[in-house]
Amino acid sequence: MKCFFCKGQMVDSHTTDVTDLESSVIIIRSVPCQKCSQCGEVSFSLDVAERLEQIVDTLRESVTEIAVIRYSSTAA
C-alpha cells in the first residue's frame, strides 16, 4: 500500500492515539496501524477505527481529566 500524501511505502506498525475532549484527554497506546516509512503518516483499518471510537465513547463520561490506556481487542 502506498501513502496517500507522499506515495511512500506503508508498513505495519503501532502508534499512540490522542483524543482531546472538552474536559479530558484520552491517550491510547500501542494502536495497530499502517505507518508511512517516508513521512510517518498513519492510517487505521476500519476495525481499529471503530474500536478506538468505542473505547473513547466508553471512557468519555468516566474520565476526570486524563486517561492513558493500552489498546487491545478486549480493552474497555
CATH code of the domain covering residue 46: 3.10.20
Q: Looking at the domain assignment, is residue 5 inside a domain?
A: no
What is residue 62's DSSP assignment?
A: T
Q: Per-residue pLDDT averaged across 9-31, rounded?
A: 95
Phi-psi region of 30 (alpha: psi -120 to 50; beta: other; left: phi over 0): left
Q: Looking at the domain assignment, is residue 24 inside a domain?
A: yes
pTM beyond 0.75: yes
Q: Looking at the domain assignment, is residue 59 inside a domain?
A: yes
Q: Looking at the domain assignment, is residue 54 inside a domain?
A: yes
What is residue 37's DSSP assignment?
A: T
Report the number of distinct structural domains present in the chain: 1
Q: Which domain range does residue 55 map to?
A: 10-70
> Worst-scoring range by mean pLDDT, 9-13, 31-35, 67-71, 72-76?
72-76
Q: Looking at the domain assignment, is residue 63 inside a domain?
A: yes
Rounded Cα–Cα distance for residues 69 and 27 (Å): 6
Per-residue pLDDT at 17: 97
